[in-house]
Structure 1
Amino acid sequence: MWRKRIIGIGIILMVGLACLLARLVQVQLVETKHFTKHNINLTEASVKQRSEEIVLDNGRGGFLDKDGNFLTHQTQSVLILFPFLKSMDWNKSKVAEIIGVSEYQLQDAVKTAKAPIVFGGDDPISLTDLQREAINKMAIPGVFAVEKKDSLKNNLAEQLLGITGQNEELLAKRYPDKKLSFNTLIGLTGMEKSFDEFLLPDGEAKLVYHVDGIGKPLFGINVKYVEPANPFYPVNVKTTINKDLQETAEKLVDEQGIKKGGLVLLDLETNSVAAMVSRPAINKQSPYETEGINNFMLKQQIVGSVFKTVVAAAAIDYKLDDDKRMFNCSQKINGDPDPNYQHGMLNFTNSFAVSCNNTFATIAKELKNIDANILENYAEKLSLTQIVGWEGAIYHTKNFKQLQDEEKGRVFLTEEAKKDNNFVALTGIGQNEVRVTPLAVANMMATIARGGEKQNVRIASEIQYKNRSTLLKFKQEDLSGDTISPYTAARLQKLLREVIVNERGTGSWFQDLPYEVAGKSGTAETDVMIEGKQLHNKWFAGYFPYDKPRYALVTVNLGVFADEGGVNPLFADMVKSVYKYDLKSK
């Protein structure tokens, strides 16, 4: 009996020992770099227990402007101080002399430090090459002058570029076949999300210093600079953003008090985004708790009278634009007297210039009687109801989108609405269920300015390796689907210019700009009321210079009272700024 018990206990001990041995093999040999579902790197964890380190570069790729300057971060030479310096006698006076600070400042910086610090904190002193060389030549343990990459405090085009964060569940869902640490940063919005697979880190660059059990340096062991083995990574995305114009645009949007809205500026030569601003700004502490996380330039909005451009295009092709015909522009679309506008009898061209609702509601109904699908067809021809951001096949991705957050536009919600005169009349003036994005409106203006040539909008021109050689390029591509004819485009160009040159035109405000402008205004009623007052979306969309178009521009102020504006001064100031920039660039 005792013998059986001893044998049983022996078997249990052997099984237990085998399990422990298997676990040791798993921990020490098999899963050293990807332990548990969290993909914990045990080798790195063990090193961290006996070392002090500071990350100089998290390894994630970034975004460049059109000239190759970084938009999301900066790299500068800084002074790194390790915490064990407070218990050491080191040459503080010489280091202080080299960088031009007091000895007390250096001593005070490490007095309460529990981990390696950047001297100067959030506003570090940027060292010159000579200063960096002089400090490192002194070979003081725990004192290093190195290059460190940090995120910029005030990112340009923040909604467009997007944000990153740690999300273990999303990481596993997005990359089920990749073994990534659970704390890997991934793109959550904007281009950070669109280009996430390219921007993923291949490892950190960091400064590692080994210490003993009480945190003092192990002399004889030099500092280690650890970086990813692949010299081509991280890769960076070269955007089409013009940094100077982007900075100007953001300043002007804020000066005009745009609380919700912004602008889109397209470079027509490459049909690419030169500047894009969305407000409100992102709340860095709680990004998802406010509307600032949204890029409203890519979101559906009620467009109002800008949609009359679509009605005008259809009217031209269906011979409803005869200027001998007169419309009563002192009436509302239901035939009642208009208390706000008494323009009298106007022809088609003048109706477009003053944005007469009755004219375009009437024409919309006539188009409906010809074919209920005409308005939708022409909205698509002018790129308003399709994704306009660049998309195409790259590597293993058949339908890669540069702007994953972009929404499609729409004209009608139901088939019944297409056949209802009241709904069609409202649709003809950009109300009812018409929804489009500011980016799509900008591309409509670009299409008209180019004589009907419809293209995808690029926001990235290429992806570059770390050494700035090209990984892949995004070529200009035509947008799928039908477009308007050169004749229709030419007629629309004249109508859009008439909005400006006509003394009663809704764009006569822009007659004295340094560049001649063509465009269309829009004021759309929303369903939101505050204190009994209805809120509106205010728009101006156009292109310039008129004779040789180079830019398309849309400004929009969303959810404001009827007597609030901002879009006209913003449009005008941006045109002036582009003109000055072009003069300087010649």
Structure 2
Amino acid sequence: MNTTTRRLASVVMVMFLALMVSTTWIQFFQADELNDDNRNIRKLHAQFGTDRGPIVVGGDAIALSTPVDDEFGYQREYTDGKLYSPLTGFFSLVNGTTGIEDAKNDFLNGQADALWVDRLQNLLTGATPQGSSVELTIDPAAQKAAWDALGDQRGAVVALDPSTGAILAMVSKPSFDPNELATHDTKAASDRYTELLNDDSRPLISRATAESYPPGSTFKLVTTAAALESGDFTPSTVVDAPSTYTLTGTSTKVGNYAGTSCSGSGEMSLADAVRISCNTTFLGLAGDLGDEAMQEQAEKFGFNEPFYVPFPAAASGYPTPPDTAALELSGIGQGSVKATPLQMAMVSAAIANGGELMEPYSVDKIRDAQLEVVEETSPTSLGQAVSEKTAEQLTDMMVSVVEDGSGTTAQMSGVSVAGKTGTAQHGADTSKTDPHVWFTSFAPADDPKVAVAVVVESGGDLGGQATGGSVAAPIAKAVMDAVLNG
């Protein structure tokens, strides 16, 4: 072999080697990246050409795939789309996937590791692959009651089973129709998504789990819990209740709701301070307890931790106060304290459950195409937020709020209700914004079956005249009644 031939052979061998390395690299090392690329038409056809499993509430499908005569073969459809969109999310050709559709995608499309036997059977028999059904914990009566009671107001409602953490209702308004994003008309889906993104009311954001608000006076439950847990306070302990409170190190005076006086004597029991929601008491109480005790108690209730239900829920925040004034404001749920409605439902649920905080979840069971259960959620404890004794004391105080305090509009015939109202200032200039209003509660107080949190933005229909008792409490009452009485 002459020199020229040897050189040519070497070049050819190097080219073959480069081709083999390149092919191996693409097929092995880049396989996942290429499969996940949204431009991969084969992936799109595999996903949208599958008989995707339904999402089920109360035995009825609220999301399902129906056969259609187009290149994909199946169209995702949502029943009562706006009602359930904070849970289902959407499954879209051009806009991605969110909510349960995203969190349980592997089961819904039949590709989860737990379904390997089903896939093998389909391969051997030639049967058409089917996704699994995802059954939610939602009580349809409670969901509808929350939706109707919230009306056209902006806000959110979350209801939990205190003993398990199961989510019984999750409503957010304004909402959106996921059918408009699931359409196979890619231009229409893209245009609608852009409209929703640019909507000032932010309908794509779940106010139940992704939006944090100052919790206002509902956070006084956490402050009271810290006081009782310290061992230095009981419900009958006499505490200061001045007409105004000057924040430490400042000249800022903070008063009570509508400038009222909590007590003619400037003192009252801790239980009465909770019952009438006396701001000045809890400003001073938080300062006395200290930032360490306050933060520790908040975190025991779940603050500063994200949750997955199974989609992500934003962490509610209790950051370390930078100074005493900020610490004092935290005692009434203002300043830098922020909470989701899910978090405030968890606070009430823990109190209702003897002080034990349960992890929230929305998926009950997952069944394969043969209706065999392949995954089931087991209730999980997140620990003891407060002692049983403290939980009992807090319950009694919350009952007094509803019986003859700030939350009487949540009263239910023949049922003892425990609750706490909240009115929260917000915005850079609070004088120019109407307060958000809250109510968190559980019932029956002596045998809790449901815990609820409601937030209505900027006072809802009543604006600056709104209180947690006048606007949010009746919504919570409607949800509790639906759970208890269907």
Q: Normalising by the residue count of structure 2, what TM-score does the alignment of the two structures yield?
A: 0.75
Provide the alpha-carbon RMSD of the alignment.
4.0
Q: Deviations over 1:547-582 (max 9, x none)?
A: 111000111112344224587455435534643564
Contact 1:513–1:572 (8 Å) recurs in 2: no
Separation of aligned partners in 1, 2:147 and 2:254? 42
Contact 1:62–1:236 (8 Å) recurs in 2: yes
Separation of aligned partners in 2, 1:519 and 1:270? 20
Q: Deviations over 1:461-495 (max 9, x none)?
A: 12211221111111111115x52111111111111
Change over 3 Å in CA distance of 1:75–1:352 after alignment to 2: same
Separation of aligned partners in 2, 1:269 and 1:230? 42
Change over 3 Å in CA distance of 1:533–1:546 after alignment to 2: same
Change over 3 Å in CA distance of 1:238–1:324 after alignment to 2: closer
Secondary structure at the aligned position of 1:562 is classed as: helix
* Larger RCO, structure (CA 8 Å, separation 6 or more): 2
1:572 corresponds to which residue?
474
Pairwise CA distance, 1:330: 2.2
1:311 corresponds to which residue?
223
More helix by share: 2
Change over 3 Å in CA distance of 1:568–1:405 after alignment to 2: farther
Q: Deviations over 1:237-257 (max 9, x none)?
A: 11101223212321222x2x3
Separation of aligned partners in 1, 2:415 and 2:477? 7
2:61 corresponds to which residue?
70
Pairwise CA distance, 1:361: 0.9
Separation of aligned partners in 2, 1:62 and 1:333? 57
Secondary structure at the aligned position of 1:275 is classed as: strand
Pairwise CA distance, 1:68: 3.1
Residue 343 of structure 1 aligns with an amino acid whose one-letter code is: C
Change over 3 Å in CA distance of 1:229–1:331 after alignment to 2: farther
Q: How does 1:175-324 map to 2 (within 5 A)?
A: 187=97, 189-200=98-109, 229=126, 233-253=130-150, 255=151, 257-259=152-154, 261-282=155-176, 284=180, 285-286=192-193, 287-290=196-199, 291-298=202-209, 299-317=211-229, 318-321=231-234, 323-324=236-237
1:432 corresponds to which residue?
335
2:283 pairs, out of 361, 385, 388, with 361
Separation of aligned partners in 2, 1:508 and 1:248? 20
Residue 262 of structure 1 aligns with an amino acid whose one-letter code is: A
Separation of aligned partners in 1, 2:474 and 2:167? 19
1:474 corresponds to which residue?
377
Change over 3 Å in CA distance of 1:436–1:229 after alignment to 2: farther
1:223 corresponds to which residue?
none
Pairwise CA distance, 1:337: 6.6
Q: How does 1:357-396 map to 2 (within 5 A)?
A: 357-368=279-290, 372-387=291-306, 389=307
Secondary structure at the aligned position of 1:439 is classed as: helix
2:80 corresponds to which residue?
154
Change over 3 Å in CA distance of 1:499–1:62 after alignment to 2: same
1:342 corresponds to which residue?
261
Separation of aligned partners in 2, 1:63 and 1:403? 13
Pairwise CA distance, 1:444: 1.2
Residue 331 of structure 2 aligns with an amino acid whose one-letter code is: G
Change over 3 Å in CA distance of 1:430–1:39 after alignment to 2: closer
Q: Deviations over 1:444-475 (max 9, x none)?
A: 11110111122111210122112211111111
Q: Deviations over 1:136-171 (max 9, x none)?
A: xxxxxxxxxxx986502531320222122236xxxx
2:417 corresponds to which residue?
517
Change over 3 Å in CA distance of 1:332–1:509 after alignment to 2: farther
Change over 3 Å in CA distance of 1:452–1:574 after alignment to 2: closer
2:408 corresponds to which residue?
508
Separation of aligned partners in 2, 1:432 and 1:302? 8
2:189 corresponds to which residue?
none
Q: Alignment length, in residue pairs? A: 422
Secondary structure at the aligned position of 2:156 is classed as: strand
Separation of aligned partners in 1, 2:65 and 2:51? 13
Separation of aligned partners in 2, 1:273 and 1:40? 37
Residue 269 of structure 2 aligns with an amino acid whose one-letter code is: N
Secondary structure at the aligned position of 2:419 is classed as: strand
1:489 corresponds to which residue?
391
Secondary structure at the aligned position of 2:275 is classed as: helix
Gap regions ≥5 residues in structure 2: 1-7, 112-124, 181-191, 248-252
Separation of aligned partners in 1, 2:304 and 2:234? 24
Gap regions ≥5 residues in structure 1: 1-10, 46-54, 81-114, 117-146, 168-184, 203-227, 390-400
Contact 1:266–1:272 (8 Å) recurs in 2: yes
Separation of aligned partners in 2, 1:462 and 1:440? 24
Contact 1:75–1:148 (8 Å) recurs in 2: yes
Separation of aligned partners in 2, 1:497 and 1:247? 26
1:216 corresponds to which residue?
none
Contact 1:258–1:566 (8 Å) recurs in 2: no
Q: Deviations over 1:153-196 (max 9, x none)?
A: 531320222122236xxxxxxxxxxxxxxxxx952x22222222
Separation of aligned partners in 1, 2:378 and 2:336? 34
